[in-house]
Amino acid sequence: MDAEQLRENAHKMVDFIADYYKNIESFPVLSQVEPGYLRKLLPDSAPTHPESLQNVLDDIQEKILPGVTHWQSPDYFAYFPSNSSTAGFLGEMLSAGINIVGFSWVTSPAATELEVIVLDWLGKMLKLPEEFLSQGKGGGVIQGTASEAVLVVLLAARDKFLGRVGKNSLEKLVVYASDQTHSSLQKACRIAGIYPENCRLLKTDSSSNFALPPDVLSEAISKDIAAGLIPIFLCATVGTTSSTAVDPLPALGKIAKGNEMWFHIDAAYAGSACVCPEYRHCIDGIEEADSFNMNAHKWFLTNFDCSLLWVKDRNDLIQSLSSNPEYLKNKASDGNMVVDYKDWQIPLGRRFRSLKLWMVLRLYGLDNLQQYIRNHIELAKHFEQLVAVDHRFEIVVPRTFSLVCFRLCPPNDDHDHCNKLNRDLLDAVNSTGKIFMSHTVLSGKYILRFVVGTPLTEEKHVDAAWAVLQDEATTLLGRF
């Protein structure tokens, strides 16, 4: 790499990206292209001779950006957010610039040591029990996604139990969660070889606001034990994907521990809110947990990917995931003096992801991060109030964080028609390109999800989004 050429081109790229952010509101939030659009615009094969960066940038402007859905737009209210920030961006840039592969301590000591330290910092911000910090048997690690986090802890739990009850007992192992748990748990069960009929997704409903009732869990465990099965793993969620339900951790944790199960907490989205003292109670009960996960890349100003996993006993992960081939042996690892994160994850290679989180924590500080979360929650509250006074709409479940679940619900409308109406409304709203929202289904009801969570969203964007929703609803209702 030629340093001067890098300097010149990187300046151009930063200018390009800064202009992108300056003009981000001029793009349709949801890309409006048709499948296969890009093949028609690009040549059939790669160039034989080098092209100029300017040519590539022109193509990005004309051909790539139309096919981008703008997750950083202030008018983006879909799924859960995936934050970018100046600090996160700079950290990511630095990581790409240095481009190390830090699978063992020796391959870049700073990468491992910074990760240990930064996960301890954030663990303290979240007031995690001491056992999750690196001084004792526990510690934190950055995974790519929450899906990888739940997979590695499930593998650790599986192997721990198989060690106890015998390797031939795989078919007897049972995993529990609610039917609101993210689908990544089911995928993890499949990969871990848990029999599909032993992955219990226990029923929730509106009577518990879609949180997992402890008595439902107890009953399921008792039944399984009576049938000769072995309960090994409970995944509770703080902030479910559909409606941000918070499972009752203290009661669930007690049941899990009473049955000697692994207790995992998935707080992929809502974990960020728990750095605010007024939301910390959402993870009360974490004392009983074996592992805890939150995605800093969702709602914590840290660019994708950065999923944080803490465990109380790192040896459980290492027992399950370590490998020690001759070609990776080194003095520090052999001497047991260091953390080798390759043994806490699925792949061998790993990026220097702690840099961006470190930069986010340092360049914003806890006060600003708390303020950031609170502001989004206030904006969601504001949106909820707007919905509540329009009698054509209803709020479907109480709001807890920055997600509002609601639907258009004209009086005397029947169930099927109401579902169709909301499907049509979502299509209409997203087709305007002015905002982007997503949906879910709860107890058979098709529901619109409005999540406030991008760094650029202000009250005026929320008001404008509500105006789009009201206009499209008026048009639709006029048609029926």
Whose Cβ is closer to ligand PLP: residue 124's or residue 187's? 187
Residue 221 binds ligand PLP (CB under 6 A): no
Is the sign of the CA dihedral 177, 180, 186, 188 positive or negative?
Answer: negative
Check binding of 241 to ligand PLP (CB under 6 A): yes
Query: Considering the complex, what minimum distance in angstroms separates the CB of residue 10 from ligand PLP?
Result: 29
Please tell me whether residue 147 binds ligand PLP under the rule CB under 6 A: yes
CB of 62 to ligand PLP, least distance (A): 30
Residues 237 and 219: their CA atoms lie apart, in Å, by: 19
What's the CA gap between 448 and 1, in Å, rounded? 49
> Which of 247, 266, 290, 472 is in the footprint of ligand PLP by CB under 6 A?
266
Interaction of residue 184 with ligand PLP, rule CB under 6 A? yes
Supply 445's token pair. 């009801």
Segment (H or E) for 438: strand 438-442
- Give the three-state DSSP class for 263: strand
Does position 182 bind ligand PLP by CB under 6 A?
Answer: yes
Told to check if 358 binds ligand PLP by CB under 6 A, we report no
Binding test (CB under 6 A) with ligand PLP, winner from 83, 107, 198, 237: 237
Q: Does 438 bind ligand PLP (CB under 6 A)?
A: no
Give me the 396-435 binding string for ligand PLP, x by CB under 6 A, dash otherwise: ----------------------------------------
Residue 187 and residue 147 in contact, taking contact as beta carbons nearer than 8 Å: yes
**Under the criterion CB under 6 A, does residue 341 sit at the interface with ligand PLP?**
no
DSSP string, 116-155: HHHHHHHHHHTT--GGGSTTTT-EEEEES-HHHHHHHHHH
Among 230, 268, 294, 426, which residue interacts with ligand PLP (rule: CB under 6 A)?
A: 268
Only segment of 124-132, 239-247, 376-384, 430-438 that touches ligand PLP (CB under 6 A) = 239-247
Nearer to ligand PLP, 79 or 406 (CB): 79
Phi/psi at 395 (5° precision): -85, 130
Q: Which amino acid is at 351?
A: R
The rounded distance, in Å, linking the Cα atoms of 202 and 212 is 7
302 binds ligand PLP (CB under 6 A): no
Which residues contact residue 192 at a Cβ distance below 8 angstroms, ignoring those fewer than 6 apart? 151, 154, 155, 158
Strand (E) or helix (H) holding 231: strand 230-237
Q: How far is the CB of 210 from ligand PLP (least distance, A)?
A: 12
Site residues for ligand PLP per CB under 6 A = 80, 145-147, 182, 184, 237, 239-241, 266, 268-269, 295, 307
